[in-house]
Amino acid sequence: MSSAPKPTSRASAFVSHSAKLGTDYLVFAETIGEAAASPSASPAAASSSAFTTAPLPVVVVVDGDYMFEPLVAAANALHRENKIPPVLLAGIGYGKPFGSPLNKRGRDYTTSRGEEEPDSGGARQFFTHLTGQLWSELDRRHPVDKNRRVIAGHSLGGLFALHALFQSKPFFNAAIVGAPSLWWNNHRYPGQLARFHKRHPAFAASLAAPARLFLGIGENDTESMTGDFARFEKQLAGAPFENLAVHAKRFPRHDHYDLLPVLFRAGLVALLG
């Protein structure tokens, strides 16, 4: 992918700067479905869109330069079919293509430092920025329901989405994870999660409702990816977390690169429908 695509025409955008990471994050946001005006809003205020709305569920996808558009397409179709409620979608990216030195996914989405990427292992710092400064600005612009916060990611972004969900003080209530890069740094993450389970088997107990995890992979992905997926699914089933519902799905006739439309469609229905 030589250049980062532009967001949908209806999306708003803002930049969130992290002084600590030295990175500007480009954030796209779009509401799917009609949001009703508050009872106190006047007709004039409603016609000018200068009214408050009830907080919406929100789905945030990383690699937003590439993942936001297919997420919007899936949500729009599902809402037209009355399969999901109105929802706020947000995509977090860099405004730069894969391979650009200013695209920091190799740093931000990795949960440990690996030889493949000298700058790697920054998931904790990125999570802190995402759930702190960046989220405060997103919520100021688009009030969201704190009990329905979904993180989504694919491949290396899927690895980060797992990291974002499994926190001792959970911020996200659910995750859509496609073909996660469990191979990263000699398959370090499954062991990290096993140790997390020993310390926090009921990490989701503080949430208003059980946490939910939707895992998906194309059946035509590589043998190493599908094998890692199966082992991870078995790990979660063998040592289940309390108050966590896991739904795993394999998509026939799909591989690593054409998974997004079916992944987002199935994940949104499973978590929001």
pLDDT digits (tens, 9 = 90+) for 162-202: 999 999 999 999 999 999 999 999 999 999 999 999 999 99
Residue 219, SS3?
coil
Residue 10 pLDDT:
77
Closest CA to 15 of 7, 5, 6, 24: 24
For residue 41, pLDDT over 60 is answered with: no
pLDDT per position as a tens digit, 127-159: 999 999 999 999 999 989 999 999 999 999 999
pLDDT per position as a tens digit, 91-109: 999 999 999 999 999 999 9
Give the CA distances from residue 193 to residues 148, 161, 203, 232, in Å, rounded to whole numbers and listed in that order: 23, 13, 12, 10
Binning pLDDT at 50, 70 and 90, where does residue 47 land?
A: very low
Which option is the CATH number for 12-272: 3.40.50.1820, 3.40.50.1100, 3.40.630.10, 3.40.1280.10?
A: 3.40.50.1820
Binning pLDDT at 50, 70 and 90, where does residue 9 land?
A: low
Give the CA distances from residue 250 to residues 151, 258, 262, in Å, rounded to whole numbers and listed in that order: 20, 13, 10
Residue 143 pLDDT:
86
Residue whose tokens read 């919007």: 72
Closest CA to 180 of 194, 169, 165, 199: 165
Residue 212 pLDDT:
98
For residue 242, pLDDT over 60 is answered with: yes
Is residue 82 within 8 Å of 88, Cβ to Cβ?
no
Residue 104 pLDDT:
97
Is residue 261 within 8 Å of 226, Cβ to Cβ?
no
Residue 54 pLDDT:
84
Q: What percent of the chain has pLDDT over 90?
A: 86
Q: What angle do CA 146, 64, 131 make, to 5 degrees?
A: 35
User: How far out from the chain centre does Cα 231 lie?
Assistant: 22
Mean of pLDDT values over 84-90: 97
Is residue 256 within 8 Å of 221, Cβ to Cβ?
yes
Rounded to the nearest 10 degrees, the angle between the axes of helix 260-272 and helix 64-80 is 60
List alpha helices for 59-122, DSSP H. Answer: 64-80, 105-108
pLDDT per position as a tens digit, 214-227: 999 999 999 999 99
Annotated domain spans of the chain: 12-272
